A and B are shown apart, each in its own frame.
Chain A
Amino acid sequence: MNLYEHTIVARQDATASQIKQITEKYSKIIEEFDGSIVQTQNWGLLNLSHIIKKNKKGNYIHFKIKGTGKIIKELEQNEIIDKNLLRYMSVKVKKFDLKTNYFSNSENNEKSNKK
């Protein structure tokens, strides 16, 4: 069982409900292939450093997944077709650090900065 960090960047004008739909859709896929989601983080609307498909901002969603490589292959196949997504990246990791969330929303941003 490998550990993966999977981040996807959704389009700028994806409404909150769409984002919820996207996260559910992909977490369902992960469950289907008997993987388990350790943590999901919603980094919210961040400014992109360069324009991707005419979008200046992107909604970032971050999954920490425990499972086999088949899950990632399946995930990425669906993400290629998905119109709402700009970019996806999955990274194989040795261990997770679940505490620090670098992009937590503004009110506990100071807390993460202090750490």
Chain B
Amino acid sequence: MFRRKKTNNKKNRQSNFAKLSIFQPNKYKFKKSCPLSIKGAPVVNYKNIKLLKKYISDNGKILPSRITNVCQKKQRELSISIKRARNLALI
């Protein structure tokens, strides 16, 4: 009984944030693979601001990985490089 309630909770959170993931192209929303760890993915780098801009919201906040479907390793690299780019006033 308890477990079903827990998974329910996760689903609700997912749907609450569905609004935020509108600007993600549709195929990303349901596909679970990480867009950064496929073979031809661009390098996550604090200089590569074109890529970083995709993973920050319009007022400059870092998007959570449950919205952008990014794996945890890439999300850590992303957050470090975004913070470095902010320090250099690139983003």
Minimal Cβ-Cβ distance residue in A for B47? A102
Chain A: which residue is nearest B51 at the CB level?
A102
Per-residue A-contact encoding for B16-53, CB less than 8 Å = 1, 0 else:
00000000000000000000000000010111111000
Q: Does A91 contact B (CB under 8 A)?
A: yes
Query: Dominant SS at the A interface?
Result: strand
Q: Is A46 an interface residue (CB 8 A)?
A: yes
Asked if A22 lies at the interface with its beta carbon under 8 angstroms from chain B, I say no
Query: Considering only CB atoms, which chain B residue lies closest to A97 in the complex?
Result: B43
Q: Does B91 contact A (CB under 8 A)?
A: yes
Report the Cα distance A98→B43, complex, angstroms.
Answer: 13
Give Cα A59 to B87, complex, Å.
15
Q: Are B88 and A87 in contact (CB under 8 A)?
A: yes
- A interface residues, how many (CB within 8 angstroms): 18
Indicate if the CB atoms of A48 and B89 lie closer than 8 Å.
yes
The smallest beta-carbon distance between A1 and chain B, in angstroms, is: 22
Give the residues in chain B near A87, CB-CB below 8 Å.
87-89
Neighbour of B86 across the interface among A49, A58, A100, A113, CB < 8 A: A49
Residues of B within 8 A of A9 (CB): 88-89
- Contact status A50-B50, CB under 8 Å: no
List residues of A whose CB falls within 8 A of some B CB: 7, 9, 46, 48-50, 52, 58, 60, 62, 87, 89, 91, 97, 100, 102-103, 113
Binding site for A on B (CB under 8 A): 43, 45-50, 60, 84, 86-91
